[in-house]
């Protein structure tokens, strides 16, 4: 009989024990599936969940947990219709567990059954009412359904639970903006800014302030921001802000040096220069207004209102003959617009 050296025998026993332990440790396997899902590796999670469910060593207490992971992976891989019956079976089996209800709600939303999802979200929250993040997710579904009042109730409770945490403030702002309540969005957006939120929140705050007519509030947000740090949408707000304040300081700088103090790789569209022209004219800078409207027309010579605006600038400059020609072109492109003058 062939005898193995002692060290080799010990090595084989240790490896065999480790392998047996790995097969039996389905709790660790469930955790690994969760990690894969969190990392966006849904296909790998799906494969591991299927493998776990076929294992004879899967403990009975973890059967429903493994099926829930399989369903979650199916949703993440774009197959929510396959996940719904799996989760319905899990919910029927473990009625007192909140997470299957939550996952069923997500799958129902994904298959376009938001109305059914509402009941599952509500039941999940009845079973575990302290989950602020679940309430915010539920609120997002309600906002998409335009059930703004109900969404507001969920967000208010989430804000209480998490102490006005940034995700809850963002949800409040999104709700207000979706409902067309720009004024109501200002406070949560300002609170987010105080938490150090980035450029996207500043842009939303600027838009909300602009829509409420708070010119000075917009100015306070944008005056100190270099043009290179502004978004294209903020640039359009900023040029309108110049007009609202009866000044054209930045516009004159852009006309003198078009690539200075603006977002990198951003080419101002025709509308930007048309607005810049209006700002210059309002600030009694008629020559600059003409330069700006000409830049707009270089980009969009087919827009009648730009020719109309050019005529107004030329009149301010005392160049009546050229103004008539600009009005004729506006009339040619849009008889109704040109006919007003």
In this prediction, residues 24-31 reach a mean pLDDT of 85
CA 168 to chain centre: 14
Percent of the chain with pLDDT over 90: 78
Residue 68: pLDDT band (50, 70, 90) is very high
pLDDT digits (tens, 9 = 90+) for 286-317: 999 999 999 999 999 999 999 999 999 999 99
Report the pLDDT averaged over residues 111-130: 97
Give Cβ neighbours of residue 74 (< 8 Å, ≥ 6 apart): 46, 80, 82, 83, 86, 107
- C-alpha–C-alpha distance, residues 186 and 218, integer Å: 11
Phi and psi, residue 114, nearest 5°: -65, -35
pLDDT at 8: 35
pLDDT tier at 89 (50, 70, 90 boundaries)? very high
pLDDT class of 280 with cuts at 50, 70, 90:
very high
Domain architecture of the chain: domains with CATH: 225-341 (1.25.40.10)
For 256, other C-beta atoms within 10 Å of its C-beta total: 10
187-194 contact pairs (CB < 8 A, 24+): 191/164, 192/166
Residue 22: its H or E element: helix 6-24
pLDDT value at 39 more than 70: yes
pTM (2 d.p.): 0.76
Per-residue confidence band for 194, with pLDDT thresholds at 50, 70 and 90: confident
Residue 28 burial class via C-beta count within 10 angstroms: exposed 0-12, middle 13-18, buried 19 and up? exposed
**What's the rounded Cα separation, in Å, for the pair 239 and 230?**
12
Question: Across the chain, what does the average pLDDT equal?
Answer: 90
Q: List, in order, residues 6 or more apart from 45 with CB less than 8 Å away.
A: 33, 36, 37, 69, 72, 73, 76
- pLDDT tens per residue, range 218-276: 999 888 888 888 889 889 999 999 999 998 998 999 999 888 888 888 999 999 999 99
């Amino acid at each position: 009989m062939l005898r193995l050296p002692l060290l080799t025998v010990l090595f084989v026993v240790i490896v065999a024990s480790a392998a047996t332990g790995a097969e039996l440790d389905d709790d660790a396997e469930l955790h690994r599936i969760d990690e894969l899902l969190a990392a966006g590796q849904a296909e790998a999670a799906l494969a591991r969940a299927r493998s776990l469910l076929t294992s004879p060593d899967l403990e009975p207490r973890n059967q429903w947990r493994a099926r829930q992971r399989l369903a979650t992976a199916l949703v993440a891989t774009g197959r929510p219709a396959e996940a719904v019956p799996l989760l319905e079976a899990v919910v029927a089996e473990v009625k007192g567990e909140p997470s299957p209800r939550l996952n069923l709600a997500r799958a129902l939303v994904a298959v376009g059954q938001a109305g059914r999802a509402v009941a599952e979200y509500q039941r999940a929250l009845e079973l575990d009412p302290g989950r602020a993040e679940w309430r915010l997710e539920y609120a997002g579904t309600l906002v998409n359904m335009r059930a703004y009042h109900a969404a507001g109730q969920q967000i208010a409770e989430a804000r209480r639970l998490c102490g006005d945490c940034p995700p809850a403030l963002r949800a409040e702002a999104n709700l207000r903006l979706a409902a067309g309540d720009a004024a109501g969005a200002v406070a949560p957006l300002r609170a987010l800014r105080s938490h150090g939120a980035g450029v996207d929140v500043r842009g939303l705050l600027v838009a909300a302030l602009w829509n409420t007519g708070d010119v000075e509030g917009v100015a306070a947000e944008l005056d100190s921001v270099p043009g290179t740090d502004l978004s294209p949408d903020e640039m359009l707000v900023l040029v309108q802000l110049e007009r609202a304040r009866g000044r054209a300081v930045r516009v004159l700088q852009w006309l003198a040096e078009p690539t200075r103090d603006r977002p990198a790789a951003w080419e101002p569209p025709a509308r930007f220069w048309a607005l810049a022209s209006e700002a210059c004219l309002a600030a009694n800078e008629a020559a600059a207004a003409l330069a700006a409207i000409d830049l707009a027309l270089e980009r969009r010579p087919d827009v009648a209102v730009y020719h109309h605006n050019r005529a107004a600038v030329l009149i301010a400059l005392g160049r009546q003959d050229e103004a008539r020609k600009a009005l004729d072109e506006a009339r040619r492109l849009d008889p109704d617009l040109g006919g007003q003058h």
